[in-house]
Amino acid sequence: MLDELPVTSKFLAETSSKSQSVSGPNRYYEMLYLIGLGLSSVEDITVRGLKVVQKCARVYLEAYTSILMAASKEDLESFYGKEVILADRELVESSSGAILEGADKVDVAFLVVGDPFGATTHTDLAIRARSLGIPFEAIHNASVMNAVGACGLQLYNFGQTVSLVFFMDNWKPDSFYDRIKENRKIGLHTLVLLDIKVKEQSFENMARGRMIYEPPRYMNIETAASQLLEIEDIRNEKVYTADTPCVSVSRLGSSAQKFVAATLGELAEIESGEPLHSLVILGHRIHEMEIEYLLDFATSKAKFQQAVEAELDTAKAMQPPTQVEEDED
């Protein structure tokens, strides 16, 4: 695809005049574009997204909530043929003025891995643009929120998505537990998104005011499963157990994509490899076609099938008895 870039650039140059605005019919004003990059390669950007990037005066890459599986900032720069500015949390959340500056006079692109409104949304930036009278437009793309369907679970059967952060000795936030409880009560699957820590300072460096950052950390499946079980041990409401059937979702959308269907206890013991990862806790309303698809990813088909059947039996046992009309005849 890189070889084809000159052709792409020529095409873009021909179509980027104001009278043939790429931002939609009758659009001729400059604006902020929130552009989804998809999940993996530089080529996952949509054709419309690429056209817009090519005409923007400044291009920012949101660099703290997700990463592309198979492309770096430098790869993006050489694909677009222009500079890409990394936007860390501080820039986006506290100094967004720098991003929005002049976005009513020149086009500015804000690139987001996945979809701009997938999982962590960037509505904040959109609201700030709106309050400054800067028009904005979103150009959508695949997100972990929908691509997770590739594991065989139907998106219609998912409940609330939850996030799991890295625990510390004295800080183990567990609000996800109640959300999972609500989902499981009505039999829905739960997508668990795992913590990413970038540009974090150690306590020592922070205390000494040294702007030295720790290497980035991405939560893996084994840590996620262990932390989930740790909270079940503490709360003990049997929302899930080590026997609950789950699916690990690794490097979604890339050539190294991998799913593992196993119990939560088994997932606490696997080696999930390179990031990024997500995890799905199955709900009892699972359809037999979902089960059939998942079995291909099972570490042990028999054991996984057993875990799913136990899950269905427990759900049945918890249902209120059917009312029998006594005086029907």
List of residues contacting ligand SAM (CB under 6 A): 39, 65-66, 69, 112-115, 118-120, 143-145, 193-194, 196, 249, 251-253, 276-278
**For ligand SAM, which is the closer residue by CB, 113 or 268?**
113
Q: How far is the CB of 115 from ligand SAM (least distance, A)?
A: 4
Q: How far is the CB of 272 from ligand SAM (least distance, A)?
A: 10
Report the distance separating Cα 213 and Cα 17, nearest Å.
43
* Contact status, residue 240 vs residue 180, Cβ threshold 8 Å: yes
Report the distance separating Cα 8 and Cα 34, nearest Å.
21
**For ligand SAM, which is the closer residue by CB, 106 or 256?**
256
For the chain, give the number of residues.
329
Q: How far is the CB of 52 from ligand SAM (least distance, A)?
A: 18
**For ligand SAM, which is the closer residue by CB, 59 or 252?**
252
Identity of the amino acid at 287: H
Q: How far is the CB of 60 from ligand SAM (least distance, A)?
A: 14
136-139 and 32-36: which strand pairing? parallel
- In the block, residue with structure tokens 């080696």: 271
* Residue set of the binding site: 39, 115, 118, 143-144, 194, 252, 277
**For ligand SAM, which is the closer residue by CB, 223 or 244?**
223
- Phi first, then psi: what are they for 39, rounded to 5°? -105, -20
**For ligand SAM, which is the closer residue by CB, 11 or 293?**
293
Beta bridge partners of 278: 193, 249
Report the distance separating Cα 327 and Cα 143, nearest Å.
55
**For ligand SAM, which is the closer residue by CB, 55 or 277?**
277
What is the CB neighbour count within 10 angstroms for residue 296? 10
Beta bridge partners of 33: 109, 137
Report the distance separating Cα 45 and Cα 35, nearest Å.
8
DSSP SS3 for 74? helix
- Residue whose Cβ sits closest to ligand SAM: 114
Q: How far is the CB of 133 from ligand SAM (least distance, A)?
A: 26
Which 8-state DSSP code applies to residue 254?
Answer: S
Q: How far is the CB of 118 from ligand SAM (least distance, A)?
A: 2
